[in-house]
Structure 1
């Protein structure tokens, strides 16, 4: 059954219906190898694209990194080998839900009062559906495009992408050959501007190991509990913080979002930023995150049984880094923060990746700017994402990649973050319509 709606883009109804189907598949990724089962959503996309495949205008591959962990690659061939190859990179998996926190079935895909409800609606199934709609329409157009247009609908983004884009890069590198790419983490409103992601922070996880002297818990005298030392390290990390760093993206954020000249001046001064953060309301958390390296203790361990004083304890740190920060820089920062405790702490490297960025001075970014302004009347501001996405993998390959979207007025960054991984996640039809209209313009300009 088709959806009836008032939209500027004729494909909006199909995109909304496809989004609802993807939500209903419930490809929940809890981080275990057998979760996700993205093959279900791949089958939905195959049915949606079937007409273009039958017409011989669209080439598709289904690639499984493990049973059920499937990604779909769909390519429309262009006529000019020298033209850009534009990749539309969407993921199919979603994070788990707590059903008790939802007002509606999180996997119902309900369309209520102009909003599609369900896990993944914002992150990022609405864009994956829009990408598929544009690829299908380009494939079925009377004339082929000038350059290749590629849909990558991948598995496992929510758990680190090992069964998704990383696996494709290793095992099927030909599928990710493109010259530029668009994915998620854009479209929210920053004042009168529309935010487009050009960079994202890196991850440099660390485990701090501290040692003590064990003993029977009934006779603590003479022992030295590692649990106390864990507490000493935590207190030190709470008291000493990484310094703020400003740059072009920070200044662009302040200019777009902050109307008060005096507050803007304070925020541009690294010494005064922290005192000004409480004045930012709901955007303060984002501002804090993108103005420095952040360190968050997440997992604490000490001891195994209640009657033994522990000999060792560990603290796992989620550390998010700014572009240009190296592993050595992180270790030096931790040593400085730990101060007199540093000789008592062993620093172990956990999994991580470098921060990535793409220059806003590219033809693709210029096309995004023109398309967003043409559809919405709003200028674009380049931003850094505090979290991660598959864009980083494309950038590591040397491919400029941007976080795209065009959400309706009223979709501030704060509202966007509440929807991502939150209860009652939903996206309005107007935002789908706007994003689809802007995406068509970008595709037309870049691959024709």
Structure 2
């Protein structure tokens, strides 16, 4: 088979551009265009090369795609590998961007647009590789379950979580999975790049704080002011210094950083050293402990009316093993006159950085980048892995990208002017192609 007939990276840039052009902005419940158009596009790309898929809708327009790819030549005795990505993106304000966020424009060697790194880049890599292999008749080592979900950006309720609740048969026979957010490079020096493989992610606790008080005239003294009580609770949460809780994945990452920079790294003083990592330090620093950030406030309707209720939203994240401490601390910080209600509560996810799948990641990265070293890390955010974990699937973040040393990659996630280098997309497709051959 010649390179001309089999090139797994040939289509990746154009597929990524086409997917970005399909607006799948997720504004939360009942808002946004949904994922139906993107799901139909993915299904058509698969159907074109003879891979049948099914569309599942949790409600009209909230669409996920599932395909079983088990061509002749796979090892039927090995459990399917779950390869998953989400179709939705966070909204983008076009006025803030240098290029229209749903244009898929190529500029300065990058594909620009909402979803370029979160995560239509990985979807494009997967589709480019699978299509090339299907056309050329090159089977992966094991059966592959392809899943492209709705609603990941709002907690996966109408996507992966819904599939697990209503159609667990779609992924139940999978034992391992790859998806976002991992596999991207961090340049240490010219001959060493760390590729961060996500082996764990923090749990999620979205809370509403509620303070009830006595309504009254704004000109009167009021010792039972809901706004005052809420403001105090919000200030205490926002300024609280959570103690460090170093997990196994985090410790392994810190040891890798220590070795790469040839320095002694004290976990209790790690954040100062991590600044040498550049923008990635923001994400890694957030995984050193539990966190809780106030994100929204609501109270009152008129200057001279003291409201009877005030509310606030809290984005809480807890490290593996830190959930009990998180809620106990929140209860202490809010005091007796404020209560909380849980809007969304999802567990942390963690697996070991070991086994044949990890060895395959390292070998395939090395084949494309001789300076690559795969290392585990704990991610501060959440992914669809929280859903698959409920079925016992070992989940890894492995969407390989070799990135320029000066690119603020972490800032691309949900940020303005999101973009991914075209050569990084092609690199990722080649690594992923190698990976499917041996994983």
CA–CA distance in structure 2, aligned partners of residues 400 and 356 of structure 1: 9
- Of 378, 383, 392, the match for 2:377: 383
* Cα deviations by residue, 1:121-151 (Å, 9 ceiling, x for unpaired): 1111111011112222333343655531121
Q: Which runs of 5+ in 1 are unaligned?
A: 1-5
Q: Is 1:224 the counterpart of 2:218 in the alignment? A: no
CA–CA distance in structure 2, aligned partners of residues 245 and 75 of structure 1: 40
Partner of 1:250, secondary structure, is helix
CA–CA distance in structure 2, aligned partners of residues 275 and 144 of structure 1: 47
Partner of 1:41, secondary structure, is helix
2:410 maps to: 417
Change (3 A) 1:34 1:316: closer
Which structure 2 residues correspond to residues 39-54 of structure 1 after superposition, within 5 A? 39-53=36-50
1:14 maps to: 11
CA–CA distance in structure 2, aligned partners of residues 48 and 335 of structure 1: 50
Q: Is 1:187 the counterpart of 2:183 in the alignment? A: yes
Verify the 8 A CA contact 2:365 2:431 in the aligned structure 1.
Answer: yes
Instruction: Report the Cα offset of residue 238 of structure 1.
Output: 4.2
Partner of 2:303, secondary structure, is coil
2:64 maps to: 71
Q: Is 1:96 the counterpart of 2:96 in the alignment? A: no
2:338 maps to: 345
TM-score by length of 2: 0.88
Change (3 A) 1:436 1:261: closer
Q: Is 1:313 the counterpart of 2:303 in the alignment? A: no
* Cα deviations by residue, 1:340-394 (Å, 9 ceiling, x for unpaired): x633332333311011112212322221122112221201010111111112211
Instruction: Report the Cα offset of residue 260 of structure 1.
Output: 5.7
Partner of 2:84, secondary structure, is strand
Change (3 A) 1:312 1:40: closer
Instruction: Report the Cα offset of residue 196 of structure 1.
Output: 0.8
CA–CA distance in structure 2, aligned partners of residues 239 and 61 of structure 1: 48
CA–CA distance in structure 2, aligned partners of residues 34 and 211 of structure 1: 29
Verify the 8 A CA contact 1:215 1:223 in the aligned structure 2.
Answer: no
RMSD of aligned residue pairs (Cα, Å): 2.6
Which is further off, 96-105 or 79-88?
79-88
Change (3 A) 1:176 1:241: same
CA–CA distance in structure 2, aligned partners of residues 144 and 317 of structure 1: 47
Change (3 A) 1:275 1:342: farther
CA–CA distance in structure 1, aligned partners of residues 224 and 317 of structure 2: 32
Verify the 8 A CA contact 2:35 2:64 in the aligned structure 1.
Answer: yes
Which structure 2 residues correspond to residues 107-256 of structure 1 after superposition, within 5 A? 107-142=102-137, 144-145=139-140, 147-177=142-172, 178-190=174-186, 191=188, 192-220=193-221, 223-256=223-256
Verify the 8 A CA contact 2:237 2:293 in the aligned structure 1.
Answer: no
> How many residues matched?
426
- Of 391, 394, 405, the match for 2:388: 394
Structure having the larger proportion of residues in helix: 1
Change (3 A) 1:393 1:410: same
1:3 maps to: none
Q: Which runs of 5+ in 2 are unaligned?
A: none
CA–CA distance in structure 1, aligned partners of residues 410 and 69 of structure 2: 33
Instruction: Report the Cα offset of residue 172 of structure 1.
Output: 2.0
Verify the 8 A CA contact 2:294 2:313 in the aligned structure 1.
Answer: yes
2:364 maps to: 371
* Cα deviations by residue, 1:29-62 (Å, 9 ceiling, x for unpaired): 2113352432212232233223322xxxx23112
CA–CA distance in structure 2, aligned partners of residues 60 and 399 of structure 1: 21
- Of 350, 353, 358, the match for 1:360: 353
TM-score by length of 1: 0.87
Verify the 8 A CA contact 2:280 2:410 in the aligned structure 1.
Answer: no
CA–CA distance in structure 2, aligned partners of residues 407 and 373 of structure 1: 13
CA–CA distance in structure 1, aligned partners of residues 274 and 405 of structure 2: 21
Which is further off, 131-140 or 196-205?
131-140
Which is further off, 275-284 or 93-102?
275-284
